[in-house]
Structure 1
Amino acid sequence: MSLYAGIEAGGTKFVCAVASDFDTILKEERFPTTTPEETLPRALDFFRRAEEELKDQHGAITSMGIAAFGPVNVDSSSSRYGWITSTPKPGWKNTDIRGYFVREMNVPVGFDTDVNGAALGEGHAGAGRGLDTFMYITIGTGVGGGIIVNNKPVHGLVHPEVGHMILKPREGETFQGVCPYHSHCVEGMCAGPAIKARWGTPGDQLPDDHEAWDVEASYIAQALMSYVLIISPERIILGGGVMHQRQLFPKIRKELKTLLNGYVDHPAILEEREDYIVPPGLEDHAGITGAFILAAGAAHR
């Protein structure tokens, strides 16, 4: 008997959970991401309470997985492996989040980006199931993407940062975006704060037929065009708060077809197929499911 501990460490909220397998959550707690000094001990307290309550029936926590907002260091050979690095999130730059739980919990801790975690979850039991190569992209407070190739998350020099590709401004565009690092990048033009900055109102308060969604779809499709041409994913999963606006999906499919202009000769593009650009199958549970998968990997390493 054993338990997996999982953390989906988002820039807005932490999701902490304990499970007996990837699909069976026994206890879960969600709370705002404040400072490391407040948030990490609060998560630790949850796991200690959960283990005490569950260990007689299910055993002790034997491993943990963390899927964290970033940028992060995913190089397991680095002395800074498991650190949140150059994040714009106030107070979190250069935070050794993995090391904290290794020391306090004394168990193996698997670690990756929050979007790679969500991609792993979707591959296990969501919209990526059965596929070798796909992308999970979140468009919410920020924009990030997990890329799965041959059933594994892509790492390299660091990790993919699909939210910071530079986009070509639309004709007559005056909005520079909200990213503190780059003008006209995907995150700066498409994330939730960009919608609010451009229109003066949060996206969830705009009507479905507002022109904001045509603008949003055009920029998202421009980003997807690059991903299709570079990665050639079998499916693109679009999650995050902005993508709760389901009217965006047909607009994005249509705009992507227009931008590619027949160059990618595949019915997924040419027929604007609804099974190519899709919402998450697990919705808000993709990230924590991925954290359990990371925990299992750490346990067997």
Structure 2
Amino acid sequence: MPADRPLLGAIEAGGTKFVLGVGHGPDAVIDQLQIATRDPETTLAETNAFFERHAGLAAIGIGSFGPLERDTRSPKWGHILATPKLGWSGFDLAGTVARANGVPIAFDTDVNAAALAEARLGAARDTGVSVYVTIGTGIGGGVIADGQIVGGTGHPELGHMRPRRNADDHGFDGICPFHGDCLEGLASGPAILARWGETLSHLPPDHAAHGIIAGYLAEMCNTLRAALAPDAIVLGGGVMATPGLFERVVAAAHASDGGYFALPAAEVIRRPALAPTSGLAGAFLLAADLL
């Protein structure tokens, strides 16, 4: 291991678990721990105790659930914004970690961190522009251009685009508290459970849900292709672990794109290469970039 590589900390802060790491990069992790996400005080006490075991940290990268403030010009930088997760709204996550460990903190969304890792090291490493989308408890996405995260005052909210409703998907208003039947309100894990009473993986292979969800995700992919012209769209998250879903999405995207795009859907739409550690790998990259 090169002696001149700094020792870094990494946090993938998820809504259900925190994954913590220490090492010289995503390829040189020397310690790792997974803890449950509870109230901020309990979770951060255990997080900081983990880092205290490792002297000489140069920086810590955090990829966190959101919504959050990633704009370094804002006085709320590093804070979790309004979230239904009890006790976390307004919590200064980056500041708490910085004060406890006395090192610089890089802070971004967990999905941006995963997008960065897949773009530099994983399924999209041969591309100039790529999108990573996670379809799970929620739907979120990150955009990478020339190895850097794309974002302005906030971060992309790909889960809140509004797909055209499938003609066979009626009588369901969607579960998003803001938009009802946006993509997250229709195709996230909780939306599938609310709509059909089972996870997609537990529904029979011939159930209509498979085609409906694949269609919504395919429409998302074609919308992203039209708006961003990405070289790769990487689809991750728990819902995408459903057997056959990836192939259904690719086929539906191809069938509905009208032959408009130069590259075939099967070349652009990809599986993640780093899952399930994409987010932690990205947090290491955020810390390294900070230095």
Report if TM-score (shorter chain) is over 0.5. Answer: yes
Q: Does 1:267 align with 2:263?
A: yes
The one-letter amino acid paired with 1:96 is: D
Q: Does 1:289 align with 2:285?
A: no
* Counterpart in the other structure of 1:15: 19
Unaligned runs of 5+ in 1: none
Q: Does 1:4 align with 2:8?
A: yes
* Counterpart in the other structure of 1:86: 82
Deviation at 1:259, TM superposition (A): 2.4
* Counterpart in the other structure of 1:25: 29
Number of equivalent positions: 286
* Counterpart in the other structure of 1:96: 92
Contact between 1:238 and 1:278, CA under 8 Å: does it hold in 2? yes
* Counterpart in the other structure of 2:157: 161
Contact between 1:119 and 1:290, CA under 8 Å: does it hold in 2? yes
Contact between 1:67 and 1:115, CA under 8 Å: does it hold in 2? yes
Deviation at 1:84, TM superposition (A): 1.1
Contact between 2:124 and 2:232, CA under 8 Å: does it hold in 1? yes
Moved more, 8-17 or 208-217: 208-217
State the alpha-carbon separation in 2 of the partners of residues 150 and 114 from structure 1: 19
The one-letter amino acid paired with 1:276 is: V
Deviation at 1:23, TM superposition (A): 1.0
State the alpha-carbon separation in 2 of the partners of residues 82 and 120 from structure 1: 19
Contact between 2:25 and 2:281, CA under 8 Å: does it hold in 1? no
* Counterpart in the other structure of 1:199: 196
State the alpha-carbon separation in 1 of the partners of residues 201 and 251 from structure 2: 22
The superposition leaves residues 163-191 of structure 1 with CA deviations (integer Å, 9 ceiling, x where unpaired) of 11112211142211111111111111111
Q: State percent identity of aligned pairs.
A: 41
Contact between 2:20 and 2:32, CA under 8 Å: does it hold in 1? yes
The one-letter amino acid paired with 1:161 is: E
State the alpha-carbon separation in 1 of the partners of residues 218 and 85 from structure 2: 27
> Which of the numbers 117, 121, 129 marks the counterpart of 2:117?
121
The one-letter amino acid paired with 1:223 is: M
Deviation at 1:217, TM superposition (A): 0.2
> Which of the numbers 176, 180, 183 marks the counterpart of 1:179?
176
State the alpha-carbon separation in 1 of the partners of residues 44 and 208 from structure 2: 41
In structure 2, the residue corresponding to 1:294 is in which secondary structure? helix
The one-letter amino acid paired with 2:35 is: F
State the alpha-carbon separation in 1 of the partners of residues 220 and 173 from structure 2: 16
* Counterpart in the other structure of 1:233: 230
Q: Does 1:278 align with 2:270?
A: yes
* Counterpart in the other structure of 2:51: 47
Q: Does 1:110 align with 2:102?
A: no
Q: Does 1:220 align with 2:212?
A: no
Contact between 1:166 and 1:183, CA under 8 Å: does it hold in 2? no
Moved more, 212-221 or 199-208: 199-208
Deviation at 1:21, TM superposition (A): 2.3
The one-letter amino acid paired with 1:127 is: A
Deviation at 1:140, TM superposition (A): 0.5
Unaligned runs of 5+ in 2: none
State the alpha-carbon separation in 2 of the partners of residues 46 and 210 from structure 1: 45
State the alpha-carbon separation in 2 of the partners of residues 19 and 207 from structure 1: 43
State the alpha-carbon separation in 1 of the partners of residues 52 and 194 from structure 2: 41
Contact between 1:168 and 1:184, CA under 8 Å: does it hold in 2? no
In structure 1, the residue corresponding to 2:107 is in which secondary structure? strand
The superposition leaves residues 59-87 of structure 1 with CA deviations (integer Å, 9 ceiling, x where unpaired) of x1111000011111111111111111122
| TM-score after normalising by structure 2 | 0.94
Deviation at 1:208, TM superposition (A): 3.4
Over aligned residues, Cα RMSD in angstroms?
Answer: 1.4
